[in-house]
């Protein structure tokens, strides 16, 4: 079968392409921006990539067009597909029908931490010899790919609440039918899709309704927004976790930076975890993954041991390089809660050493200014802040950061940010770049600039 994927270079749709190739299908795809690392991963898998959305990309007519949610009506390829009556489906629907059917699906949902937790859970199952399949919105360093079919019934999927496609406005995760559902947290996000928190909660409850009574739902013990979702109705056993609060799964004797903690399950000591990830949020993610792994048959002791061999996920506090004692990190944080958690984890690790935070407010929610009032508070742990203000930003960045005083600067191009950081940086500094996009390759430009500056 020949599949043509519209929006193929997004992490999710790129994962769909890898799975389809693993199943023996011919796969081609179009995207507005075809660039590494996804383009490299796809080309190595034998996927034919095409720049742009030209109608001729759909000739000869493929057996199925798989439509990503980044494309909409008015897109030339979409209009050609509809006018010629080509068969089409969404990525989540194709995944559900061709990969997930008949498998034990472990879904990781929530506003924050989905990618890291899904990668960690897949690694726990892998270490236990279960050879899981997975589709994750990032690249776990232990696997070096974002998706694979696996060789067992188990399949880990990052369960995103964003909409499915222009013709299916339900959340992606509605399609997955998990047996094990893990919900990390729930906050308002995706303001371009949802009007308010209640709309998101309704989608999460639709997800809860799909979990069988013989399955398991794993949730934080102190998340009021998730509690309200469950109050709408729940027909599945629950397990609770919390890094600081006594729950079914919780931590004790946690190191200040989160790199070590005792795991307690139902009042019983399970073992001490020692690993390389930092921050209280990652301790919470680990506890949730431990609960999900146990549901799939992995002993807590074995799963705890696997934590020490987990290398993390690209773009989640990823150290991109160090020059002359200056470290440059890349992190996906783009919501105030995630920004604050990332900074808190790094602060606990580096102590009094200086942190310079570079932030690109790239998501639709951030561009609209929905969380602008919370931004200064989220950035409090940074010693200096450089915020990129693109032309389409719909709020006054300088006013939002005013509570930070002289610690914060607003820049209107990345060239200014790079030059200012190179003026400021000194040995022992930590440059934390936070964006859910490419940020004009600022990480590499900073490292290159530091090399030139110090040579």
Please tell me the distance from the alpha carbon of residue 308 to that of residue 256, in angstroms, as a whole number: 17
Quote the tokens at residue 169. 């406005």
Using alpha carbons only, give the angle 243, 245, 249 rounded to the nearest 5 degrees: 60
The C-alpha torsion from 135 through 21 and 102 to 297, rounded to 10°, is -50
| pLDDT attached to residue 333 | 74
**Residue 102 falls in which region: left (phi positive, over 0), alpha (psi -120 to 50) or beta:** left
Backbone angles phi, psi at 267, to 5 degrees: 80, 0
Q: Taking residues 197-207, what's their average pLDDT?
A: 95
Please tell me the distance from the alpha carbon of residue 324 to that of residue 160, in angstroms, as a whole number: 40
The answer to whether residue 149 scores a pLDDT higher than 70 is: yes
SS3 175: helix
Are 263 and 251 within 8 A, CB to CB? yes
The answer to whether residue 191 scores a pLDDT higher than 70 is: no
**How many other CB atoms are found less than 10 A from the CB of residue 254?**
17
The residue written with tokens 């301790």 in the block is: 283
Domains in the chain, ordered, with CATH? 2-91 (3.40.50.720), 102-307 (3.40.1190.10), 318-454 (3.90.190.20)
**How many other CB atoms are found less than 10 A from the CB of residue 166?**
17
Quote the tokens at residue 98. 């061709």
Confidence of residue 398 (pLDDT cuts 50, 70, 90): confident
Confidence of residue 144 (pLDDT cuts 50, 70, 90): confident
The answer to whether residue 89 scores a pLDDT higher than 70 is: yes
Are 101 and 176 within 8 A, CB to CB? no
Are 7 and 65 within 8 A, CB to CB? no
The answer to whether residue 312 scores a pLDDT higher than 80 is: no
- Run of H or E including 378: helix 372-378
User: pLDDT, tens digit, for every residue of 55-66?
Assistant: 999 999 999 999
Full-model pTM: 0.86
List, in order, residues 6 or more apart from 315 with CB less than 8 Å away.
138, 330, 331, 332
**Per mean pLDDT, which range of 161-170, 260-269, 380-389 is the poorest?**
380-389
């Amino acid at each position: 079968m020949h599949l043509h994927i519209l929006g193929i270079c997004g992490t999710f749709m790129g994962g769909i392409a890898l799975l389809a190739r693993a199943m023996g299908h011919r796969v081609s795809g179009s995207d507005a921006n075809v660039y590494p690392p996804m383009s490299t991963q796809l080309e190595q898998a034998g996927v034919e990539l095409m720049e742009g959305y030209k109608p001729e990309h759909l000739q000869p007519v493929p057996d199925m067009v798989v439509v990503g949610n980044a494309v909409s009506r008015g897109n030339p390829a979409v209009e050609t597909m509809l006018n010629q009556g080509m068969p089409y489906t969404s990525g989540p629907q194709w995944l559900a029908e061709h990969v997930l059917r008949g498998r034990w699906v472990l879904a990781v949902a929530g506003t924050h931490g989905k990618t890291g937790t899904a990668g960690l859970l897949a690694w726990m199952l892998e270490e236990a010899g279960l050879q899981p399949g997975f589709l994750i919105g990032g690249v776990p360093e232990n696997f070096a790919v974002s998706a694979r079919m696996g060789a067992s019934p188990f399949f880990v999927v990052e369960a995103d609440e964003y909409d499915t496609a222009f013709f299916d406005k339900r959340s992606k995760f509605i399609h997955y039918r998990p047996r094990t559902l893990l919900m990390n947290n729930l906050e308002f996000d995706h303001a371009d899709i949802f009007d308010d928190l209640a709309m998101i909660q309704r989608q999460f409850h639709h997800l809860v309704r799909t979990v069988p009574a013989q399955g398991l739902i794993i949730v934080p013990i102190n998340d009021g927004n998730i509690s309200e979702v469950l109050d709408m109705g729940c027909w599945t056993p629950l397990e609770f976790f919390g890094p600081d609060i006594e729950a079914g799964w919780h931590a004790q004797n946690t190191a200040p930076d989160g790199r070590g903690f005792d795991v307690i399950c139902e009042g019983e000591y399970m073992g001490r975890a020692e690993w390389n990830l930092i921050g209280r949020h990652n301790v919470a993610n680990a506890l949730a993954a431990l609960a999900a792994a146990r549901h799939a048959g992995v002993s807590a002791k074995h799963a705890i041991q696997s934590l020490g061999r987990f290398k993390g996920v690209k773009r989640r506090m990823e150290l991109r390089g160090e020059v002359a004692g200056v470290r440059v990190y890349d992190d996906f944080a783009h919501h105030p809660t995630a920004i604050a958690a990332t900074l808190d984890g790094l602060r606990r690790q580096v102590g009094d050493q200086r942190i310079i935070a570079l932030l690109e407010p790239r998501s639709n929610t951030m561009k609209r200014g929905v969380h602008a009032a919370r931004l200064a508070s989220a950035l409090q742990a940074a010693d200096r802040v450089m915020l990129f203000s693109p032309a389409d930003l719909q709020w006054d960045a300088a006013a939002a950061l005013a509570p930070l005083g002289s610690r914060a600067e607003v820049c209107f191009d990345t060239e200014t940010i790079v030059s200012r950081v190179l003026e400021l940086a000194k040995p022992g500094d930590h440059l934390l770049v936070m964006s859910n996009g490419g940020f004009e390759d600022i990480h590499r430009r900073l490292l290159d600039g530091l090399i030139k500056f110090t040579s």
